[in-house]
């Protein structure tokens, strides 16, 4: 059957709700319980070649770049290999050093984004090895790379990407597992992650079931002309992606910031008209993150705190503070669960404002000209 929005009012909404099934598809057949590792045949790299990798450089544009940042964090965390992400649109213009022992990872839903494609070509021209995390089978980037992981998210029509991004994250998690297990990641940690990955689709479903609360919060956020999204370390790319989604379809000014950097400047902008969406997982930074919430509340800034059950917000005012609780996963996998409610916040804010959600002004689904 043709892919249409069916009973959904938009493709974006349909695609958000498809995430549990899409996540199952990307994981299927790719987790190896016996050796507690990832089973990604398409990388075209054997154990010895994987071990020889000294660095990982992730490239993508827009949301693919932000998920790439989450992925780099995962890779560094689990495989203990230095990893970072860069906007593919900038990469080739700074005459980058291409190293033979670096694994380059190009991330793209469409596989047709020209900036990402040109970055891949620049790397290969200089003799680098590039793998793709791509959704569209047979797309330009998929054809150009040395190996890769297809994302199996299914067709994505809405300009604002959701399910493809979730599957990118899961692709990175499996890559980090496989890379980690030829290095220092223990079998126990490997099993812990596999169990965490297998439980993710159900946890995404739990978040989707809270849509009514998210809708109510979004309708309030839609009234603000300008808002902040803040997070730290693993939570920062989550904030970036949350702000991106919000900007794209609500046309509100949404700025992502590291929570730790607020006091170095933007705190000057906090007032009762500027809400902050704060990513506060129950991790090693929770106390500092909560302290920052107090700084914001003290200036009258409304707060939406995306957090875990265990995190106490005691001492913050009742009024103007909304708490959105997401289920926990393994700490390395938490970023993707923290991202899902932000999709629904953006969606319902845009809906409230009466915008064309699937085709926001000035944007194309894939940007094929430089
Ligand atoms: C996502 O919501 C955006 N529309 C945009 O940032 C997108 O992720 C970017 O243009 C990259 O597209 P790609 O994944 O198809 O390469």
Q: Average model confidence (pLDDT) for the chain?
A: 96
Local confidence band at 56 (pLDDT 50, 70, 90 cut-offs): very high
Site to substitute for ligand 1 among 160, 161, 241, 364, most atoms within 8 A of C-beta: 161
Local confidence band at 90 (pLDDT 50, 70, 90 cut-offs): very high
> What confidence tens digit (pLDDT) does each residue in 215-224 have?
999 999 999 9
Give the ligand 1 atom nearest the CA of 62. Answer: 6
Q: Cα(64) to centroid of ligand 1, in Å?
A: 6
* Spatial contact of 187 and 36, defined as CB atoms under 8 Å apart: yes
Q: How many helices (H) and strands (E) does the chain have?
A: 13, 12
Site to substitute for ligand 1 among 15, 58, 62, most atoms within 8 A of C-beta: 62
Q: Residue 282: which residues within 8 A CB-CB, separation 6 or more?
A: 307, 308, 309, 310, 311, 328
| Spatial separation of the C-alpha atoms in residues 74 and 76, rounded to whole Å | 6
Local confidence band at 2 (pLDDT 50, 70, 90 cut-offs): low
Q: Cα(32) to centroid of ligand 1, in Å?
A: 31
Local confidence band at 7 (pLDDT 50, 70, 90 cut-offs): confident
- Identify the pLDDT of residue 5: 81
Q: Cα(363) to centroid of ligand 1, in Å?
A: 10
| Spatial separation of the C-alpha atoms in residues 130 and 103, rounded to whole Å | 6
Give the ligand 1 atom nearest the CA of 363. Answer: 4
* Spatial contact of 145 and 103, defined as CB atoms under 8 Å apart: no
Percent of the residues in the chain that have a pLDDT greater than 70, as a whole number: 99
Give the ligand 1 atom nearest the CA of 367. Answer: 10
In three-state secondary structure terms, 306 is strand
| Spatial separation of the C-alpha atoms in residues 193 and 140, rounded to whole Å | 32
Please tell me the pTM assigned to this model. 0.97
Strand 129-134 relative to strand 147-150, pairing: parallel
* Closest residue CA from atom 8 of ligand 1: 63
Local confidence band at 4 (pLDDT 50, 70, 90 cut-offs): confident
| Spatial separation of the C-alpha atoms in residues 1 and 101, rounded to whole Å | 45
Centre a 10 Å sphere on the Cβ of residue 170 and count the other Cβ atoms it contains: 28
| Spatial separation of the C-alpha atoms in residues 80 and 179, rounded to whole Å | 9
- Identify the pLDDT of residue 329: 96
Mean pLDDT of 106-117: 98
Q: Cα(20) to centroid of ligand 1, in Å?
A: 20
- Identify the pLDDT of residue 220: 96
Q: Residue 186: which residues within 8 A CB-CB, separation 6 or more?
A: none
Q: How far is CA 124 from CA 92, 94, 281, in A?
A: 12, 16, 39
Query: Residues lining ligand 1, CB < 6 A?
Result: 61-64, 108-110, 113, 116, 159-161, 248, 366-367
Give the ligand 1 atom nearest the CA of 116. Answer: 16
- Identify the pLDDT of residue 346: 98
* Closest residue CA from atom 6 of ligand 1: 62
Site to substitute for ligand 1 among 61, 133, 350, most atoms within 8 A of C-beta: 61
Query: Which pair of tokens denotes residue 364?
Result: 């194309």
Q: Cα(142) to centroid of ligand 1, in Å?
A: 16
Site to substitute for ligand 1 among 59, 64, 243, most atoms within 8 A of C-beta: 64
Using only C-alpha atoms, the chain has a radius of gyration, in whole angstroms, of 20
- Identify the pLDDT of residue 369: 85
Q: Cα(43) to centroid of ligand 1, in Å?
A: 23
* Spatial contact of 106 and 71, defined as CB atoms under 8 Å apart: no
- Identify the pLDDT of residue 3: 76
Mean pLDDT of 243-254: 97
Q: Please say if the pLDDT value at position 1 is more than 60.
A: no
Strand 102-108 relative to strand 129-134, pairing: parallel
Q: Cα(253) to centroid of ligand 1, in Å?
A: 19
**Which residue, 102, 41, 75, 40, is CA-closest to 180?**
75
Handedness of CA 158, 162, 167, 168 (dihedral sign): positive
Q: Please say if the pLDDT value at position 310 is more than 60.
A: yes
- Identify the pLDDT of residue 79: 97
| Spatial separation of the C-alpha atoms in residues 185 and 81, rounded to whole Å | 11
The H or E element containing residue 201 is helix 187-208
Q: Cα(191) to centroid of ligand 1, in Å?
A: 32
Q: Cα(294) to centroid of ligand 1, in Å?
A: 34
Q: Residue 232: which residues within 8 A CB-CB, separation 6 or more?
A: 258, 259, 260, 279, 285, 288, 289
- Identify the pLDDT of residue 366: 87
Q: Cα(258) to centroid of ligand 1, in Å?
A: 22
Angle at 312 between CA 232 and CA 306, to 5 degrees: 45
């Amino acid at each position: 059957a043709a892919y249409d929005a069916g009973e959904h009012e938009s493709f974006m909404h349909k695609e958000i709700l498809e995430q549990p099934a899409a996540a199952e598809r990307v994981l299927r057949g790719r987790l190896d319980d016996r050796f507690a590792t990832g089973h990604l045949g398409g990388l075209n790299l054997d154990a010895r070649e994987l071990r020889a990798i000294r660095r990982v450089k992730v490239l993508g544009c827009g949301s693919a770049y932000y998920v790439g940042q989450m992925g780099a964090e995962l890779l560094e965390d689990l495989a203990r290999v230095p990893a970072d992400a860069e906007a593919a649109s900038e990469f080739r213009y700074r005459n980058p050093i291409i190293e033979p022992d670096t694994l380059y990872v190009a991330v793209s839903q469409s596989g047709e984004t020209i900036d990402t494609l040109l970055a891949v070509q620049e790397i290969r021209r200089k003799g680098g090895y590039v793998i793709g995390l791509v959704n569209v089978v047979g797309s330009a980037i998929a054809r150009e790379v040395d190996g890769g992981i297809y994302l199996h998210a299914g067709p994505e029509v809405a300009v604002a990407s959701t399910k493809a991004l979730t599957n990118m994250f899961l692709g990175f998690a499996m890559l980090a597992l496989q890379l980690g297990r030829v290095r220092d990641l223990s079998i126990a940690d490997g099993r812990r992650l596999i169990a965490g990955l297998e439980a993710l689709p159900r946890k995404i479903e739990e978040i989707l079931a809270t849509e009514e609360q998210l809708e109510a919060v979004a309708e309030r956020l839609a009234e603000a002309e300008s808002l902040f999204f803040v997070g730290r370390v693993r939570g920062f790319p989550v904030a970036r992606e949350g702000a991106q989604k919000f900007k794209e379809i609500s046309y509100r000014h949404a700025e992502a910031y590291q929570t730790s950097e607020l006091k170095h400047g933007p705190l000057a902008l906090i007032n009762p008209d500027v809400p902050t969406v704060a990513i506060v997982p129950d991790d090693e930074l929770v106390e500092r993150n909560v302290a920052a919430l107090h700084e914001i509340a003290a200036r009258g800034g409304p707060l939406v705190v995306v957090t875990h059950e265990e995190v106490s917000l005691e001492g913050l005012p009742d009024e103007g503070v909304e708490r959105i609780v997401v289920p926990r996963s393994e700490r390395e996998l938490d970023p993707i669960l923290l991202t899902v409610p932000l999709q629904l916040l953006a969606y319902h804010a845009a809906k409230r404002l009466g915008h064309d959600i699937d085709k926001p002004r000035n944007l194309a689904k894939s940007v094929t000209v430089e």
